A and B are shown apart, each in its own frame.
Chain A
């Protein structure tokens, strides 16, 4: 099951995107590339090449912020009679960001015919992904895979399993930042490339609240004689 929760779901999706990368050399045809969150501590065994993921900022994406409005979810499982194609309406909501694709995480969901919430707050998560390689050949292979397949320029998107949404994932910057290896007495170079990425995300601005549909409409008004 996918990890749920703001940042956790996004972190997992990004790690998944970077997992299963391999490089080739004359010793090993499919050398796996490890992925870590943050730079691994010295007690963690790491083998080159490897990749680190660091979240470096959360920014309110004001250019995507809409006016406050109420979003609604017609819970047909809870007995709602939903209008046709209600999911296509601008005020429809079908997922709870980073948590659920259909509000099943709400335990008493079926007590309510309609679930409602306020407009989500758009944010951008900024990540730094770094590749570390001891061999120039591995470095080039990794760069090629990153630019061609993992974070292609202008075609970036990522699937978040927790809420079943597809988000934007933009490669903002790519830079070379080689290091001298402290473990090798600063005599060997570590080839390092740094990718700055921006992923769109949303934060709920209120809790979910439930509405019950009216069970009957009394059309006649009876006057009570005093």
Chain B
């Protein structure tokens, strides 16, 4: 109000100070980006899981090596589920079942279950970090 002789200040149409609440902006950002952040985080996690699992199957001398490239890890955004599956024909499916659960003659070598159970804490942490950085982008 320099040079003004008015007895009160005028804030004009934009006000003296303007802004929005960061909390509200953050919630709006969450609403806008929630789906894509969740999908990106879990899809990239599934891709990384598949690569890790295939690599450990390749190192195994129990028979998993031959079907390592049939191991698939996928994320379905509709059901919000990560699935560990085997692609391929009946031979591959039977071999995977026999290896994972055993069949009497063969003891179980549970590659898939052990991987999921051993890695669940780390997986949670990784997904958590990915989602945090996704949701905090720009804040």
Q: Tell me, in angstroms, the Cα distance from A126 to B108 when the chains sit together.
A: 12
Q: Does A182 contact B (CB under 8 A)?
A: yes
Q: Does B113 contact A (CB under 8 A)?
A: yes
- Residues from 99 to 116 in B contacting A, C-beta threshold 8 Å: 101-105, 107-108, 110, 113-114
Q: Does A194 contact B (CB under 8 A)?
A: yes
Q: Tell me, in angstroms, the Cα distance from A62 to B105 when the chains sit together.
A: 34
Known contacts A130-B101, A177-B97; A56/B114 CB under 8 A = yes
Q: Does B21 contact A (CB under 8 A)?
A: no
**A56 and B121 form a contact (CB under 8 A):** no
Set of chain B residues within 8 Å of A39, measured between Cβ atoms: 102, 104, 107
Q: Does B118 contact A (CB under 8 A)?
A: yes
Distance (whole angstroms) from the CB of B63 to the closest CB of chain A: 16
Q: Does A119 contact B (CB under 8 A)?
A: no
Chain B interface extent, by class: 10 to 19
**B121 and A63 form a contact (CB under 8 A):** yes
Distance (whole angstroms) from the CB of B119 to the closest CB of chain A: 10
Set of chain B residues within 8 Å of A194, measured between Cβ atoms: 101
Known contacts A62-B121, A63-B121; A57/B110 CB under 8 A = yes
Q: Tell me, in angstroms, the Cα distance from A39 to B107 when the chains sit together.
A: 8
Q: Does B117 contact A (CB under 8 A)?
A: yes
Q: Tell me, in angstroms, the Cα distance from A182 to B105 when the chains sit together.
A: 10
Known contacts A59-B118, A63-B121; A173/B101 CB under 8 A = no
Q: Does A175 contact B (CB under 8 A)?
A: yes
Partner of A182, one of B102, B104, B113: B104
Known contacts A56-B113, A57-B114, A57-B118; A128/B108 CB under 8 A = yes
Set of chain B residues within 8 Å of A126, measured between Cβ atoms: 110, 113-114, 117
Set of chain B residues within 8 Å of A38, measured between Cβ atoms: 107
Set of chain A residues within 8 Å of B114, measured between Cβ atoms: 56-57, 126
**A56 and B105 form a contact (CB under 8 A):** no
**A56 and B110 form a contact (CB under 8 A):** yes
Q: Does A106 contact B (CB under 8 A)?
A: no
**A177 and B101 form a contact (CB under 8 A):** yes
Interface-centre pick from A38, A63, A128 (highest chain B CB count, 10 A): A128
Q: Beta-carbon contacts of A115-138 to B below 8 Å, as 1s and 0s?
A: 000000000101010100000000
Distance (whole angstroms) from the CB of A185 to the closest CB of chain B: 15
**B104 and A196 form a contact (CB under 8 A):** no
Interface residues of A (CB under 8 A from B): 38-39, 54, 56-57, 59, 62-63, 124, 126, 128, 130, 172-173, 175, 177, 179, 182, 194, 196, 198
Q: List the 7 shortest-distance A-B pairs measured between CB atoms, nearest first.
A: A56-B110, A39-B104, A57-B114, A62-B121, A177-B101, A194-B101, A63-B121
5 more CB-based (< 8 A) A-B contacts, given A128-B102, A194-B101: A56-B110, A56-B114, A130-B101, A175-B101, A198-B117
